Structure 1
Amino acid sequence: MRRTALIGPDDPPPFTIINPEGQASFLLIGDHAGDAVPASLDGLGVSAAERARHIGRDIGTARLGMLLAAALDAPFVAQTYSRLVIDCNRDPASTDAMPAVSDGTVIPANAALSPADRAARTCAIHAPYHAAIAALIAHRLASERRIVLISLHSFTPVMGGIGRPWHAGVLHDGGDTRFARAMLAALRTEPDLLVGDNEPYRMDATDHSVPRHAYPTGLPYLELEIRQDLLVSGAGVAGWAARLARLFRAALPFAATSPI
């Protein structure tokens, strides 16, 4: 892959596809899976400890996606770069796509971005990631294969001093919500879980990936949030992967069998 001035020859590519030929109906994506920063941005002027917080990535989702890809035989498209470089679940034109402040942490490299700076990040990271997702969807639709788009996210247990009691949240809004609603019901049958319906976030106009890729083609989808303290250990991630693989399969019959 050709590198841009933003991404140098020693930087990683903007995305990784795990198990691209996976035969399952599920297509997994991780908008905030990675925490890399191009060398040209010198850490964004933020300490490694700050970048390791939830502001830099969705903790645990990279490993969760990899385990689910193996358990389900599904592709997983994982975004490589920190959401502080560019948030791939935002319209690149939005202010919070490259935030100057995130949960109280100032991001110096984002303080005075020029239109050219923003365009460089969009072209180098955001556009290739979404092009990869679109290409996988197009390939599968051309083969008349069922697709359920699953967007994996995690959330911090405390935000703005307010605790978030949910173990997981199911986010949904427009489009074909049947699979999302089936997963909400399935997760709520698990006796040890408190599951939010559009909590701790609502799917709304700020979300980019699911509306961009699922709505136009009528794909059933799920945007799933898991609390990050449940994904900090290997055992925790493995437990969630096993649980979700079981529930995804159980909920699949509720998804549309073909695009609407």
Structure 2
Amino acid sequence: MSPDSAPVRLLQPGDPPPFEVLRPDGASPWLFTADHAGQAIPRALGDLGLPPGEIDRHIGWDIGIAGVARELAALLDAWTIVQAYSRLVVDCNRPLDSPTLIVERSDGTEVPGNHGLDADARQARLAEIFLPYHARIGETLDRRRDQGRATLLVTLHSFTPAMGGVARPWHCGVLYNRDTRLAHALRDALQAEGDLVVGDNQPYSVSDSSDYAIPVHGERRGLPHVELEIRQDLIADAAGQVAWAQRLARLLRGLEAAFVAGQVPSAPAG
């Protein structure tokens, strides 16, 4: 691109905005994010060269999590943000230097529209999708801090029942890195339900190299936080989404008072 040329716009009329905010005036201390809620592809990118149906697989989005997020937002009157674009366009839970920020291949599927991207093409996806989404989260957290409002951060995800031919036994997983306060409390509450196999940092774990939302919005701010994963076959339909949202709302209400009152161990130093 020459110095005098205008940057090429990725999102065009008819493309959805990069995110939707639910309950913008919600009174709850709970704040939910869903980094992989949507499966939209900007019109300018066509279908990314994907075979038919591939965008509907787990590689394209976190199946069912948008519905869970919407139900939770309503049940708890909680500020919630759902990201609209497929993780195959840009993964909004990856550090900017991650090799999986824009993947060329995912779980055996080639993504031709991601091959050989130049710096301008990559930057357009960041500037118009990734950065506005995270800026909106940051602005909201700043405002809540300045208003003296408590915030308990939950990042919502879902995971495929099998990966690489290996079945995953967990119904849900509680993920964390340095700060275990909210994660361990929610893990224990889920295990106490008696009918769930709960992954403790399974099927994934949080790290600075693999994740963006928890390190940036949770750890750096010292907020109680947890990344929650739900197995996709359990929330693939509306009934499952409602059932999981109702269960989570009940458990989170039970944890809320102690965390808002500060009756939990301090976050570890570092």
Do they superpose with TM above 0.5? yes
Residue type of the partner of 2:195? D
- Aligned mates of 2:97, 2:89 — CA distance in 1: 14
Residue 62 of structure 2 aligns to a residue whose secondary structure is coil
Counterpart of 1:189 in structure 2 is 192
Residue type of the partner of 1:152? L
- Aligned mates of 1:68, 1:235 — CA distance in 2: 14
Is the 2:171–2:196 contact (alpha carbons within 8 Å) kept by the matching residues of 1? yes
- Aligned mates of 2:115, 2:193 — CA distance in 1: 44
- Aligned mates of 1:42, 1:76 — CA distance in 2: 29
Counterpart of 1:201 in structure 2 is 204
- Aligned mates of 2:204, 2:96 — CA distance in 1: 20
Moved beyond 3 Å, runs of 4+: 256-260
Of the three residues 67, 90, 104, the one matched with 2:108 is: 104
Residue 47 of structure 2 aligns to a residue whose secondary structure is helix
Q: Highest Rg: 1 or 2?
A: 2
Residue type of the partner of 1:93? D
- Aligned mates of 1:237, 1:256 — CA distance in 2: 27
Gaps of 5+ in 1: none
Identical aligned residues as a percent: 46
Gaps of 5+ in 2: 1-6
How far did residue 217 of structure 1 move?
Answer: 1.3
Aligned residues: 257
Residue 96 of structure 1 aligns to a residue whose secondary structure is coil
Counterpart of 1:155 in structure 2 is 159
Counterpart of 1:218 in structure 2 is 222
Residues 1-260 of structure 1 aligned to structure 2 (within 5 Å): 5-175=9-179, 177-204=180-207, 205-255=209-259, 257=261
How far did residue 187 of structure 1 move?
Answer: 0.2
Could you give the per-residue CA deviations for residues 59-101 of structure 1, whole angstroms, max 9, x where no partner exists?
A: 0111100000000000111100000000000013221010000
Residue 191 of structure 1 aligns to a residue whose secondary structure is coil
Is the 1:4–1:124 contact (alpha carbons within 8 Å) kept by the matching residues of 2? no
How far did residue 47 of structure 1 move?
Answer: 3.1
Instruction: Output the TM-score relative to the length of structure 2.
Output: 0.92
Instruction: Output the TM-score relative to the length of structure 1.
Output: 0.96
Q: Comparing 244-253 with 158-167, which one deviates more in the overlay?
A: 244-253
